[in-house]
A and B are shown apart, each in its own frame.
Chain A
Amino acid sequence: MAFFQMKKMILGWTFRTPVTTRYPFAPRKICPGSRGRLDITIANCIFCSVCAKRCPTDALVVDKANKKWHIDRLRCISCGYCVELCPKKCLALAGDHGIPTVTKDMETF
């Protein structure tokens, strides 16, 4: 009987710990290989600007003259296209999403 089935399920879960994470007391478990925040090892970057040219959301700006790499965190969709294209492999996606951004500033490296 489905009626008893549901009652059994509900009663069973009454005495179990919740399935949801106790955030912020317990941090979220990060899945390996998850696409999160875009990180750059700026020491290896040659400022070729391939990433900026091919970024689907125009989140990246490369300043060749001053050797600066800028990212608009609110535009980046963590697709990983730049990571695939980077000739020096200095870009990588971190598993976590980083801290929330509150302003629309460009982050500079």
Chain B
Amino acid sequence: MGTRTLIPFGPQHPVLPEPIHIDLVVEDEKVVEAIPSIGFIHRGLEKLVEKKDFIEYVYVAERICGICSFIHGQTYCQGIETIMKIPVPPRAHYLRTIWGELSRIHSHLLWAGLMADAFGFEALFMHSWRIRERVLDLIEATTGGRVIFGSCKVGGARRDITPEQMHWLLGELAEVEKEMRLIVDIFMNDHSVKHRLCGVGVISKDDAVALGAVGPTLRGSGVADDMRLLKYAAFGDLDFQPITRSDGDSYSRCAVRCAELFQSVDLIRQAAAKMPAGEIAVKVTGTPDGEFFSRVEQPRGEVVYYIKGNGSKNLVRFRARTPTFANVPPLVKMLAGCELADVPVLVLTIDPCISCTER
């Protein structure tokens, strides 16, 4: 048995996009134990429900995360709407679905770039982010914001997508899809990429379920679990089946995300074809009185919002369980036994979003 050494990894590290700290106990070049700690950027956003009324809080909910901002807003609005029994117009549901899927595409492309950067493939990183810019342009043209969409409100949507805009969006999306095929081909077939990902950080189906993994981390281990199956927003009307891979290694998780890029494009096309005409929002009267668990699928996995109101304009309790928080225990399991050089790649395969986790 070699000498054990403790190597601190993060919160500031060249490969980490987010401030998570992991104490790595290594024996020679092998990690034998990983001890994570979070809490570097806690902002106390859950407590803010006591100051902001339930309508204004949408702006705060959207700012919990800078990448899946829209879906945070959507989850919050969905929770409030269920408590208050607000009949959201069907068109608003479709608009939310389209924006949610656009948000998934841009998040997965961002992850693809960071992942390529983590294993030192700079050219692939730049191409991933170049394609992401086009998706951000689509988002800006339809919602008015590039990262913070600001288009979701309690009772529906703030903006509509005109038929001309939709036509343009679908045309651009076809171009984006063509370009994405090129980079996905490299992620899936390149020898050097496969060398870094195949067989690394294996987590079995049973472990993934027992440790509470969510999103692509869970689906990469062969569990077909996706909150979109709950048929929230317009998913009930769309043809959707979760994408799974069975190997449970880094390559599988990467493959799930790559396949989800095209699945999201397909879902947007389906939603655009079936989108009904009509109102995009209803007037909200009254205050929330009751409690609800709102569950939505973010790019990183399932997000759970607990919302409780007592009939006043401020909520009594608000709690957000974000996907990265759920994916930390599987990450710790993956890290134990891996090579030191694989740590950055493994951390990135769960697509960590610590600002979400810290709230």
Q: Is the CB of B140 within 8 A of A5?
A: no
Q: How far is the CA of A1 from the CA of B189 in the complex (A)?
A: 7
Q: How far is the CA of A31 from the CA of B169 in the complex (A)?
A: 14
Q: What are 18 A-B pairs at a CB distance below 8 A?
A: A2-B189, A3-B190, A6-B123, A6-B190, A9-B123, A9-B127, A10-B123, A32-B141, A33-B141, A33-B144, A56-B60, A77-B148, A79-B59, A80-B144, A80-B150, A81-B56, A81-B59, A84-B158
Q: Is the CB of A31 within 8 A of B150?
A: no
Q: Is the CB of B190 within 8 A of A56?
A: no
What residues of chain B lie closer than 8 Å to A2, measured between beta carbons? 185-186, 188-191, 193
What residue of chain B has the Cβ atom nearest to residue A7's Cβ?
A: B123
Q: Is the CB of A5 within 8 A of B60?
A: no
Known: A80-B144, A80-B158. A6 touches B150 (CB 8 A): no
Contact of A56 among B59, B130, B193 (CB under 8 A): B59
9 new A-B contacts at CB < 8 Å, known A2-B193, A33-B141, A80-B144: A2-B185, A5-B182, A6-B123, A9-B127, A19-B130, A19-B133, A32-B141, A33-B142, A35-B145
What residue of chain A has the Cβ atom nearest to residue B188's Cβ?
A: A2
4 nearest CB pairs, A to B: A2-B189, A35-B144, A2-B190, A56-B59
Q: Nearest-CB distance from A74 to chain B (Å)?
A: 16
Segment 1-36 of A: residues with Cβ below 8 Å from B: 1-3, 5-6, 9-10, 19, 31-35
Contact of A31 among B133, B140, B158, B190 (CB under 8 A): B140
Classify the interface of chain B: helix, strand, loop or mixed.
Answer: helix
Q: How far is the CA of A93 from the CA of B144 in the complex (A)?
A: 10
Q: How far is the CA of A3 from the CA of B182 in the complex (A)?
A: 11
What residue of chain B has the Cβ atom nearest to residue A95's Cβ?
A: B144
**Is B124 among interface residues, defined by CB-CB distance under 8 A?**
yes
Q: How far is the CA of A3 from the CA of B121 in the complex (A)?
A: 12
Q: How far is the CA of A108 from the CA of B133 in the complex (A)?
A: 36
Q: Is the CB of A3 within 8 A of B191?
A: yes
Q: Is the CB of A9 within 8 A of B59?
A: no
Task: Pick from A3, A10, A56 the residue with the most CB of B within 10 Å.
Answer: A56
Counting chain A residues whose Cβ lies within 8 A of the other chain, the interface size class is 20 to 34
Q: How many residues of B are counted as interface, with CB atoms below 8 angstroms from the partner's CB atoms?
A: 27
Segment 48-93 of A: residues with Cβ below 8 Å from B: 54, 56, 77, 79-81, 84, 93
CB-defined interface of B129-154 with A at 8 Å, one 1/0 digit per residue?
01001000100111011001010000
What residues of chain A lie closer than 8 Å to B205, measured between beta carbons? none
Q: Nearest-CB distance from B188 to chain A (Å)?
A: 8
A interface vs B, CB < 8 Å? 1-3, 5-6, 9-10, 19, 31-35, 54, 56, 77, 79-81, 84, 93
Q: How far is the CA of A28 from the CA of B186 in the complex (A)?
A: 31
Known: A2-B185, A2-B189. A35 touches B123 (CB 8 A): no
Q: How far is the CA of A84 from the CA of B154 in the complex (A)?
A: 14
Q: How far is the CA of A31 from the CA of B142 in the complex (A)?
A: 10
Q: How far is the CA of A35 from the CA of B149 in the complex (A)?
A: 9
CB-defined interface of B25-59 with A at 8 Å, one 1/0 digit per residue?
00000000000000000000000000010001001
What residues of chain B lie closer than 8 Å to A79, measured between beta carbons? 59, 150
What residues of chain A lie closer than 8 Å to B59, measured between beta carbons? 56, 77, 79, 81
Q: Is the CB of B191 within 8 A of A9?
A: no
What residues of chain A lie closer than 8 Å to B56, measured between beta carbons? 54, 56, 81
Q: Nearest-CB distance from A26 to chain B (Å)?
A: 16
Q: How far is the CA of A56 from the CA of B153 in the complex (A)?
A: 14
Task: Pick from A1, A3, A31 the residue with the most CB of B within 10 Å.
Answer: A31
Q: Is the CB of A31 within 8 A of B141?
A: yes
Q: How far is the CA of A89 from the CA of B185 in the complex (A)?
A: 51
